[in-house]
Structure 1
């Protein structure tokens, strides 16, 4: 992303332009370019190629290499860090500000990828609240720059004839680690599982294509085609990186080695080259601008477009007045200057973190709204299964009076975690067993790509539920929206099979209809609305939009429920009125702890429906 040479190839700058524009468009709207996140992979290939070229120069001194890295990376990055901290002090709730400075600390040390590997899945909705999330890729590159030059020059000196086989072997090992990682969410961020992309670029330096011009032209067009198909066809549901990262990487590699084919000329168009020139600054600026715009104005398209336009303007200014002067200049003590900037950044982060995010910036009502982010089942970590995890039926959690054997079970994905506790508190005499697992709807026979344990988990739970004589009622619930791209009809069909098997076993079955879900963070949006003098009751979506979004699911559930002796619970009855679905009410407060999940307060509101609409629970 940040490698550079003194004589720049126009096609490489154009390739950089494609990469950064793809990332920006993906962050603007995932649906606009589903595979746009692969722009980062293209950056990695370019960086590996250019860095290897630089390192193999005969007269290169490692000190000169690292001095140029400092002059290239640090100035623009620290300008963005300073802006982000100031904006965070003005806008972010205490918890998010604490998280921001926590990640700023690691970003300063070029270790943010490890911090984010622990904090979040890159594609989760909560990732949109992290203004420095995009710095993970800078950290990967910097870690590569620290280790790779030493390895490359050592192998070149002591085993020069094996240089390229060694690099090829390292690339294969990294690809294998990415493909078969036991922690796929973390693998997205780690240098060991990303190194193969940079090493593919390095291997391009060794390739000398002795081909006809006609064949080079075809190969360069194939490279463009691979990149275009990747950006269109990849999506955030696929396991990544790994084998799915090869198409964009190989497409970039073909363009690097063909040099002057038709594809190279195509990507040398002036607008793409210009975007490539400002790509580093644009990459740095665009994501914080989008995060802050969405926090202030919600997920509406126009504020996001304005944020991207502003990011372009800031990128041009950053490139002209920060990047270029520092690259052209010759500071006398570059490492001392860099160390001083790092010290200031770390000190500022520690001060704000130790002040617990400076909650005194907000009044009591605003702090209460922000605190809804922690209003979830306190036993969620213990009782709710993480993705790919398994649990014995007897070890699942039970709520209600301890001496009462559970007669109700809540079976579902993460939507059921808070509902289980809410029902247990509302019907303590019944006893409620929680059977919930992330990304695992209660759909028998259904296979989901990113949770291979789900199918077996469901089969096991269904077997136990049908044979447990103490369980009289089973509540089925799911975040239906999450499976829209994962063969939703098959998921709903499996849900029907689960319900029928339970019903035939003599169980009362309750189907929970869709809960409104949001692309923003309700606690932050409500608290900021209060802080800015807006009506927090306006935060939400129109009822018409909710009805459109859930029409397919609702129609199929209606047909199924009407044809069988099942009960139905419609959370929208207490979460929406005729005009809007809301995330806040004056009486209850914030009803969600994040955009995809009801808070415990919201779940208790939904739980009131069960005793009135589920006949089997009337007497519980």
Structure 2
């Protein structure tokens, strides 16, 4: 087989080709692939990116040091190699996404996709995705270029690293210290970055995940491993009995983190030491004469490793666009087929795109000038296309059998209730009241917001005041939150203060005779934050006690209390399903689901309330005959996985006179 330039960039003076490193790339890409496919086994498969970072730092540092010692170091040559390695396959994938994104993404999604085209071309997509939200949020599964954040981190690192390495090498050479100062300086930088990463985990987890300063230590760790002296022959002999241990231990650490970590883990930060440390053990100790190295050198493992970059590029667009196209989430069989397709596409991309541009001796675009001009042309064309999509706000006028894309998406708009101003820390905005002297208070989180329209619709509307805050259950002196990146002490403290303000408002408004509380009282979360900042494990009993304390405080004002339970859901994005049926002109109600499969309102909590508070259950209204309705005629009832749409809320109020049911329950 003809050699490919940089197929093994760790080739160099004293830095020979190691097939087991290609195998390690396979160990990096497969968990990422399976994690994004929804595997429950590899819940921490995202650590494959950390493995890639450490490998990249190791290989690039070794290559650059070899060139420095040979006197052939050149920044221009370095960036030519990076362009040949990164850009051809990346440009092909970006271009391939455009027609499918045009056909299937909603205007807001297409607008964001356009911004991602611009930022990917400029290698700052990690910053854009950080601004848009968390890596583990539900909507990121529909972002075709989400995975390019890691390429941006690497390229931002490599803008600085070659110059820093050259300066440190020159300093070491001048002082004759044989890499000592180089290693000390890089170690100090790595420790500073690791410290920042851990600070991010506590205070700004999304920034820690996406931004280069908190990720640089992973690449630096690989670089340091490459710069350390190679083990002497004597030391190899003395440890020959144990030579298999480092490589096997490293593989075990990588595998354990990929299976034991999850989106709730406080990651990256100190926890990332596990996969990164495992990678370093393999890089330093998993050589060809060890069992670990031999496993990684198996032909099929090395084969996947060789195409790993292209497989990584193709997998997320395939998954995201398949999800955007379908009215229902792809099942296990479909996701497995997409995984296979990603590997096949990666192999074809490696053979016909990557390899020709990196062919030793006769690559496409032989001259460096041609490479840079082609890179600029590709960035300009793709970035310009993305800018056009963004400026046009995702082209909402695109026609479909069910109306324009924009008109359909508008039907899935956020349901803030009376007004968007009502989703905020405590406000007295007149937009959040339907009368000067309301007799009913609607209090809760987004699940209270989405029934506000219901309480105003129908023949007997309520005189309403809405006090709501997203992700803030109406409880007294505790706020439900979660571990890891879901733990937001600032919002939790804000929630406690919000509920106190609402209770104080209620005490000063004696005209309010009924208080409607609505929330799922998020039992999936496992921390409650107290008013003094202390945390405790969340249990149904603790939630019930906090709710009953609030009910008692409300009743002390003379008002009656009614709880409205959330609508049933089956764990899928019902709103996306409904929108897809409209887009594709599908008649009927293919998004309906059996009541038996619904994720039900916490029965344990209801039993603990034991009839002490009247509860209105929406599942009794929405699921006649055991089938939960998601669309009635032309009305779409849901806007996402759990919330009622604006038109669905209006239909619910008219069809069941929800306002009058509240009055009856409050008597």
Equivalent position of 2:332 in the other structure? 301
Cα separation, partners in 2 of 1:423 and 1:498, compared to 1, 3 Å: farther
Cα distance between partner residues in 1 of 2:8 and 2:355: 14
Cα distance between partner residues in 2 of 1:26 and 1:73: 23
**1:173-219 deviations in Å (ceiling 9; x for gaps):** 22222222343223311111211111111121133455623444223
Equivalent position of 1:18 in the other structure? 27
Equivalent position of 2:3 in the other structure? none
Cα distance between partner residues in 2 of 1:396 and 1:52: 59
Q: Does 1:415 align with 2:413?
A: no
Equivalent position of 1:388 in the other structure? none
**1:229-287 deviations in Å (ceiling 9; x for gaps):** 21111111123221222211111111111132433333333332221111111111111
Q: Does 1:323 align with 2:354?
A: yes
Equivalent position of 2:278 in the other structure? 251
1:460 shift after superposition: 4.0
Cα distance between partner residues in 1 of 2:49 and 2:472: 26
Equivalent position of 1:204 in the other structure? 225
Cα distance between partner residues in 1 of 2:376 and 2:266: 38
Contact between 2:248 and 2:286, CA under 8 Å: does it hold in 1? no
How many residue pairs get matched? 606
Cα distance between partner residues in 2 of 1:42 and 1:172: 18
Cα distance between partner residues in 2 of 1:253 and 1:379: 56
Contact between 2:356 and 2:364, CA under 8 Å: does it hold in 1? no
Q: How does 1:461-476 map to 2 (within 5 A)?
A: 461=498, 463-464=500-501, 468-469=506-507, 470=509, 472-476=513-517
Q: Secondary structure at the match of 1:32?
A: coil
Q: How does 1:234-383 map to 2 (within 5 A)?
A: 234-260=261-287, 261-297=290-326, 298-299=328-329, 300-328=331-359, 329=363, 331=365, 332=367, 333-358=370-395, 359-363=397-401, 365-367=403-405, 368-377=407-416, 383=422
Q: Does 1:591 align with 2:654?
A: no
Structure 2 runs not aligned, ≥5 long: 1-5, 173-178, 529-535
**1:132-173 deviations in Å (ceiling 9; x for gaps):** 111111111111111211122122223564212221222222
Equivalent position of 1:498 in the other structure? 546
Q: Secondary structure at the match of 2:219?
A: helix
Q: Does 1:123 align with 2:150?
A: no
Q: Secondary structure at the match of 2:398?
A: helix
**1:299-344 deviations in Å (ceiling 9; x for gaps):** 1223222222222211111111111111101522110111111122
Cα distance between partner residues in 2 of 1:2 and 1:223: 23
Cα distance between partner residues in 1 of 2:516 and 2:299: 59
Contact between 2:462 and 2:659, CA under 8 Å: does it hold in 1? no
1:443 shift after superposition: 7.5
Q: Secondary structure at the match of 1:165?
A: helix
**1:21-73 deviations in Å (ceiling 9; x for gaps):** 10111111152311011111111111111111111122221211111110111
Cα separation, partners in 2 of 1:379 and 1:307, compared to 1, 3 Å: farther
Cα separation, partners in 2 of 1:526 and 1:104, compared to 1, 3 Å: same
Cα distance between partner residues in 1 of 2:611 and 2:321: 48
State the Cα RMSD in Å: 3.2
Cα distance between partner residues in 1 of 2:574 and 2:402: 17
1:578 shift after superposition: 3.3
Contact between 2:477 and 2:496, CA under 8 Å: does it hold in 1? yes
Q: Does 1:538 align with 2:565?
A: no
Contact between 1:113 and 1:190, CA under 8 Å: does it hold in 2? yes
TM value normalised by structure 1: 0.88
Contact between 2:111 and 2:393, CA under 8 Å: does it hold in 1? yes
Q: Does 1:74 align with 2:87?
A: yes
Q: Secondary structure at the match of 1:240?
A: coil
Once the two structures are overlaid, the 10-residue window that deviates more, 519-528 or 64-73, is: 519-528
Contact between 2:421 and 2:429, CA under 8 Å: does it hold in 1? no
1:17 shift after superposition: 0.6
Equivalent position of 1:190 in the other structure? 211
1:395 shift after superposition: 6.5
Cα distance between partner residues in 1 of 2:620 and 2:444: 21
1:439 shift after superposition: 6.9
Contact between 1:399 and 1:421, CA under 8 Å: does it hold in 2? no
The one of 418, 435, 438 equivalent to 2:471 is 438
Structure 1 runs not aligned, ≥5 long: 386-390
The one of 156, 168, 190 equivalent to 1:171 is 190
Contact between 2:418 and 2:433, CA under 8 Å: does it hold in 1? no
Contact between 1:2 and 1:280, CA under 8 Å: does it hold in 2? no
The one of 606, 631, 634 equivalent to 1:558 is 606
1:396 shift after superposition: 8.7
Once the two structures are overlaid, the 10-residue window that deviates more, 334-343 or 498-507, is: 498-507
The one of 243, 258, 261 equivalent to 1:231 is 258
Q: How does 1:505-584 map to 2 (within 5 A)?
A: 505=553, 506=555, 508-517=560-569, 521-535=573-587, 537-546=589-598, 549-550=599-600, 553-561=601-609, 563-584=610-631
